[in-house]
């Protein structure tokens, strides 16, 4: 993102039921990392990148890796850092990550080195673990591949039609991956592209914004699957699993590309082997696949007929019910974080840690983060009960209703301010704001 930082999702959280830890907000109560177990995981990562030897992207995935316990910030790494914080411990290096370093499945710059950072515990499922490792190793080398992109605004994927058409596309992609013949695969791909074209027709700008995330997380997930798994059967099984698992995500706004990336990637592997070596950031996977299969654009007049192939009416009925509940929830969030008394925090040089599966778009008013850690010049805000981040106006807000006398605790949040920053009355009656002390 242009400002701040959006975490990669923890793979535990969705490949097997969206029930496990994502960042600090739901971290399991584990202690220091088991060095032997960590050494095994680091060995798996080395085996994956050594097996590839840089052939897939023309750049080796091998490099510095940190395994981090989000509870106590203990670290096991495959090398020391640039300033000697990590010390040798057998075949690995151990230490504690400073509080200033973000905790997420991502790539980071720390102590003079660019790392792949992965939260502990690592998934126990072998395929899931190896895809996670390769996914995050790819993120570390993205700058070297000139493939670092900002991520677009995909709030349309929380609307009724946006969600419905995306799920139809996923069902068509799954049918293409399972297709018993080239003819059946071609028809299913044509259907997927039709549903996507209709979504882009309804939501101007969606093509660009979706492609930004798909070229980032979608390509990373595809890479994780291709390099983490060694057989076509395992890759297809994993891509199908992602298409099914992400349906359970509370929001598709930032999660959809993890499902579409592997599916489009595998279908491109079949239609145009070696396509990834010619891939240029900004190219759209759907267009590449349509071109590779020489598919003419499907007529919009066939949309209802093709919808009926993938939905007997139950999916739309479910989405209509969800949308009604969403509208009620949005009204409640607006009352809580916009119209009601709020604490306003300025966004300067901010870093965010959050669960990307739970974000709630609030239209032109920004995005609601049910859980969040926000680091900025003024200090740290930790949220477990909704915060609004509005990039356009450069503010974050939490509810000031029932705030304690110090102004540093409220319902579902707590604030730690740095010296020289204070909570003062806001511009509206009942509002508060975080501001720097201007001095006498």
CB 211 within 8 A of CB 258: no
pLDDT of residue 438: 55
Residue 279 Cα distances to 228, 265, 272, 355, 404, angstroms: 20, 11, 11, 30, 54
The candidate with the shortest Cα–Cα distance to 178, out of 93, 115, 239, is 239
Q: What is the mean pLDDT of the chain?
A: 90
The candidate with the shortest Cα–Cα distance to 274, out of 259, 286, 288, 295, is 288
% of the chain at pLDDT higher than 90: 79
CA distance 133 to 405: 46
How many CB atoms sit inside 10 A of residue 50's CB? 12
**The residue to which tokens 């003024």 are assigned:** 378
Query: Which range is least confidently modeled, 23-37, 47-61, 65-79, 314-328?
Result: 23-37
Dump the DSSP string for 264-287.
Answer: HHHHHHHHSTTGGGG--TT--HHH
The band of 140, judged by pLDDT with boundaries at 50, 70 and 90, is very high
The band of 353, judged by pLDDT with boundaries at 50, 70 and 90, is confident
The candidate with the shortest Cα–Cα distance to 24, out of 109, 144, 119, is 119
User: 112 in the Ramachandran plot: left (φ > 0), alpha (ψ -120 to 50) or beta?
Assistant: left
Q: Which two tokens stand for residue 103?
A: 């905790």
> Which residues does residue 96 pair with via DSSP β-bridges, in sequence order?
74
The band of 16, judged by pLDDT with boundaries at 50, 70 and 90, is very low
pLDDT of residue 135: 97
Put the strands of the sheet holding 413-417 in their side by side order: 351-354, 372-376, 379-383, 413-417, 409-410
Burial 298-310 (b: 16+ CB within 10 A, else e): beeeebeebbeeb
CA distance 140 to 142: 6
pLDDT digits (tens, 9 = 90+) for 391-423: 999 999 999 998 987 879 999 999 999 999 999
CB 367 within 8 A of CB 360: yes
How many CB atoms sit inside 10 A of residue 135's CB? 27
- Mean local confidence (pLDDT), 317-327: 96
% of the chain at pLDDT higher than 70: 92
- Tell me: pLDDT of 196 over 90: yes
Contacts of 6 (CB under 8 A, 6+ apart): 151, 254, 352, 354, 356
The band of 6, judged by pLDDT with boundaries at 50, 70 and 90, is very low
CB 360 within 8 A of CB 389: no
- Tell me: pLDDT of 304 over 50: yes
How many CB atoms sit inside 10 A of residue 35's CB? 18
pLDDT of residue 123: 87
pLDDT of residue 281: 84
CB 116 within 8 A of CB 107: yes
The candidate with the shortest Cα–Cα distance to 82, out of 114, 117, 110, 112, is 112
Checking 56-59 for CB contacts under 8 A at 24+ apart, the result is 56/223, 56/226, 56/227, 56/276, 57/138, 57/141, 57/145, 57/223, 57/276, 57/277, 58/145, 58/277, 59/141, 59/144, 59/145
How many CB atoms sit inside 10 A of residue 407's CB? 18
Q: Which two tokens stand for residue 226?
A: 């291709």
- Tell me: pLDDT of 115 over 90: yes
Dump the DSSP string for 19-38.
Answer: -S--GGGG-----S--HHHH
pLDDT digits (tens, 9 = 90+) for 68-94: 999 899 999 999 999 999 999 999 999
E strand or H helix at 160, and its extent?
Answer: helix 160-178
Query: Which range is least confidently modeled, 10-19, 140-149, 243-252, 418-427?
Result: 10-19
pLDDT of residue 359: 87
Q: Which among 250-259, 279-288, 309-318, 428-437 has the top mean pLDDT?
A: 309-318
Distance separating the N- and C-terminal Cα atoms of the chain: 38
pLDDT of residue 298: 86
pLDDT of residue 35: 86
Dump the DSSP string for 185-246.
Answer: HHHHHHHHHHHHHHHHHHSTTHHHHHHHHIIIIIHHHHHHHHHH--SHHHHHHHHHHHHHHG
């Amino acid at each position: 993102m242009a400002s701040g930082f959006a975490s990669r999702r923890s793979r535990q959280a969705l490949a097997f039921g969206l029930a496990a830890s994502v960042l600090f907000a739901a971290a399991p109560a584990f202690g220091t990392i088991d060095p032997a177990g960590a050494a095994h995981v680091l060995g798996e990562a080395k085996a994956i990148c050594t097996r590839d030897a840089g052939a897939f992207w023309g750049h080796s995935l091998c490099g510095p890796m940190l395994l981090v316990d989000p509870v106590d910030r203990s670290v096991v790494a495959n090398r020391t850092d640039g300033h000697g914080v990590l010390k040798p411990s057998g075949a690995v290096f151990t230490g504690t990550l400073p509080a200033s370093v973000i905790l997420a499945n991502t790539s980071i710059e720390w102590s003079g080195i660019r790392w792949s950072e992965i939260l502990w515990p690592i998934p126990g499922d072998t395929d899931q673990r190896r895809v996670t490792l390769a996914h995050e190793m790819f993120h570390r080398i993205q700058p070297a591949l000139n493939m670092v992109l900002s991520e677009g605004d995909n709030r349309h994927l929380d609307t009724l039609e946006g969600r419905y058409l995306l799920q139809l596309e996923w069902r068509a992609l799954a049918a293409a991956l399972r297709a018993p013949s080239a003819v059946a695969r071609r028809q299913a791909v044509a259907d997927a592209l039709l549903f996507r074209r209709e979504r882009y027709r309804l939501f101007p700008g969606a093509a660009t914004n979706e492609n930004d995330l798909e070229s980032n997380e979608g390509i990373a997930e595809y890479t994780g699957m291709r390099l983490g798994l060694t057989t076509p059967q395992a890759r297809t099984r994993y891509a199908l699993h992602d298409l099914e698992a992400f349906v359970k995500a509370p929001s598709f706004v930032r999660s959809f590309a993890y499902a579409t990336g592997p599916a489009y990637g595998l279908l491109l592997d079949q239609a145009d082997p070696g396509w990834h070596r010619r891939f240029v950031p900004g190219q759209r996977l759907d267009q590449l696949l349509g071109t590779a299969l020489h598919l003419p654009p499907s007529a919009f007049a066939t949309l209802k007929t093709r919808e009926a192939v993938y939905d007997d009416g139950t999916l739309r009925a479910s989405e209509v019910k969800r949308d009604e509940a969403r509208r009620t929830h949005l009204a409640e969030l607006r009352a809580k974080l916009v119209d009601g008394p709020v604490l306003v925090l300025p966004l300067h040089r901010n870093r965010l840690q959050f669960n990307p599966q739970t974000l709630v778009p609030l239209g032109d008013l920004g995005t609601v983060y049910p859980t969040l850690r926000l680091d900025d010049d003024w200090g740290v805000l930790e949220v477990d009960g909704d915060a609004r981040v509005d990039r356009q106006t450069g503010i974050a807000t939490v509810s000031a209703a029932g705030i304690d006398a110090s102004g540093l605790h409220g319902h579902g949040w707590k604030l730690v301010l740095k010296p020289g920053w204070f909570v003062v009355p806001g511009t509206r009656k009942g509002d508060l704001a975080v501001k720097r002390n201007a001095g006498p």
